[in-house]
A and B are shown apart, each in its own frame.
Chain A
Amino acid sequence: MHELGIAASVLQEAQQEAQHHPGARLRKVKLRVGEFSGVNPEALSFSFEVLVRDAGLELLQLEIETCPRRQRCPACQRTFTVADYDLRCPSCGTAETEFAGGDELELASLEMEDYEPSAAGAKSS
């Protein structure tokens, strides 16, 4: 259960980035988590919820895109998604294909709501 530590890193990175955008309010963190990353997305989401609540940032959401394993075929150059550990190229049948993704644990982007002092009180969507 190392998801709490990973959630803390995610929150820290997001907050550091937010400092470069004074006045903007952090609303969403988008992550990419590979099926082969060794990280459980549910445990990560739960940990993140606990941390943002503790930090008084309840409005901050975590969005996780799970990424399946991909392989690349050296013969026909096609990159394909792997189902049920079948690593053969679906186009040309080549058995020996190369790992091409599925272990990512990446911060993709942040969504921020711009804070406009002049518009304060006049709620915009």
Chain B
Amino acid sequence: MSQVPLERKVLSENDRIAAELRRRFADQGVLCLNLISSPGSGKTTLLERTLEAFPASARVAVLTGDIQTENDAARLRRFGFPVRQITTGGTCHLDARMIERALADWHSVSYDLLFIENVGNLVCPASYDLGEAAKIVVLSVTEGEDKPLKYPAIFLKSKLLVLSKIDLLPYVPFDISAAEHNARRVHPEIDVVKLSCVTGAGLEQWQSWIEERRRELQALRGALVT
């Protein structure tokens, strides 16, 4: 028997495309955010509230992934910003090639903020780099507060945890401080925003978090130019 050392990543092809997308986003000053959660945690509703708050002149675009249907894209198009649905036809996550293809003929669309709404799934999307500046994990208060411990990979890889549907806290046995604590056991540096898309509570913190990332991106670009 002979041993042949390989020492490379299994998803090296995905990572190569993701690195290319990341370089392109940096060159064009695009902040790309990848939203990940279980089905029904409120990703689309959060994006609705987010798009609603932008002025018509905002250069924001959305790619939304689902296994089937154009439903989410239809919901998000109502706000007048460019939205494209990626239907994976069975695949449980988005990969970098799907993003590359979806953006390939979007030349006429100009944007400096791109949201990617991943397929509802807390496991598989964690393995795929899409070239985003940050992954954002959304956890609603109707789920279990131990989810960060059950699905640690995505909580480890996300920059921000959004605890959604906090208007339901009086009606569900969800211990929000335990959820936050569990997320920090996995990833001590993770940012946390608690919000409700029904009452609007916390939406301002969510918007400031995004603005902060945009400023960081701009500062980074400025440092590269000079």
Q: Could you list which residues of chain A lie within 8 angstroms of chain B, going by C-beta atoms? A: 1-2, 5-6, 9-10, 13, 17, 21, 24, 27, 31, 35-39, 85, 87, 96, 99, 103-114
How many residue pairs link A and B with beta carbons under 8 A? The number is 86
- Which of B3-11, B45-53, B160-168, B197-205 lines the interface with chain A? B3-11
**Which B residues lie within 8 Å of A107 (CB)?**
6-10
Taking a contact as CB atoms under 8 Å apart, the answer to whether B1 and A9 are in contact is no
Nearest chain B CB to A36 CB, angstrom units: 5
- Mark out the residues of chain B between 130 and 147 whose CB falls within 8 Å of any chain A CB in the assembled complex: none
Q: Could you list which residues of chain B lie within 8 angstroms of chain A, going by C-beta atoms? A: 1-13, 91-93, 123-124, 126-127, 149, 152-154, 156-157, 185-186, 188
- Pick from B6, B124, B185: contact of A108, CB below 8 A: B6
Taking a contact as CB atoms under 8 Å apart, the answer to whether B2 and A24 are in contact is yes
- Pick from B1, B127, B188: contact of A37, CB below 8 A: B127
- Pick from B4, B91, B127: contact of A21, CB below 8 A: B4
- Pick from B3, B126, B149, B157: contact of A85, CB below 8 A: B149
**Which B residues lie within 8 Å of A24 (CB)?**
2
Taking a contact as CB atoms under 8 Å apart, the answer to whether B2 and A38 are in contact is no
Taking a contact as CB atoms under 8 Å apart, the answer to whether B6 and A109 are in contact is yes
CA distance A99 to B2 in the complex (A): 34
Taking a contact as CB atoms under 8 Å apart, the answer to whether A2 and B13 are in contact is no
Nearest chain B CB to A28 CB, angstrom units: 8
CA distance A21 to B186 in the complex (A): 43
CA distance A113 to B3 in the complex (A): 9
| Shortest Cβ distance from A21 into B: residue | B4
With A6-B10, A17-B4, A108-B6 known to touch, is A85 a contact of B92 (CB < 8 Å)? no
| Shortest Cβ distance from B5 into A: residue | A109
Taking a contact as CB atoms under 8 Å apart, the answer to whether B124 and A38 are in contact is yes
**Which A residues lie within 8 Å of B4 (CB)?**
17, 21, 109-112
**Which A residues lie within 8 Å of B124 (CB)?**
1-2, 38
Taking a contact as CB atoms under 8 Å apart, the answer to whether B188 and A96 are in contact is yes
With A1-B124, A9-B13 known to touch, is A17 a contact of B6 (CB < 8 Å)? yes
With A1-B124, A36-B152 known to touch, is A110 a contact of B9 (CB < 8 Å)? no
**Which B residues lie within 8 Å of A104 (CB)?**
9
Taking a contact as CB atoms under 8 Å apart, the answer to whether A38 and B127 are in contact is yes
Closest 6 CB pairs of A and B: A38-B153, A38-B126, A2-B124, A85-B185, A107-B6, A110-B4
**Which A residues lie within 8 Å of B123 (CB)?**
2, 38
- Give the one of B6, B7, B10 with max A CB within 10 A: B10
Taking a contact as CB atoms under 8 Å apart, the answer to whether A13 and B156 are in contact is no
Taking a contact as CB atoms under 8 Å apart, the answer to whether B91 and A5 are in contact is yes
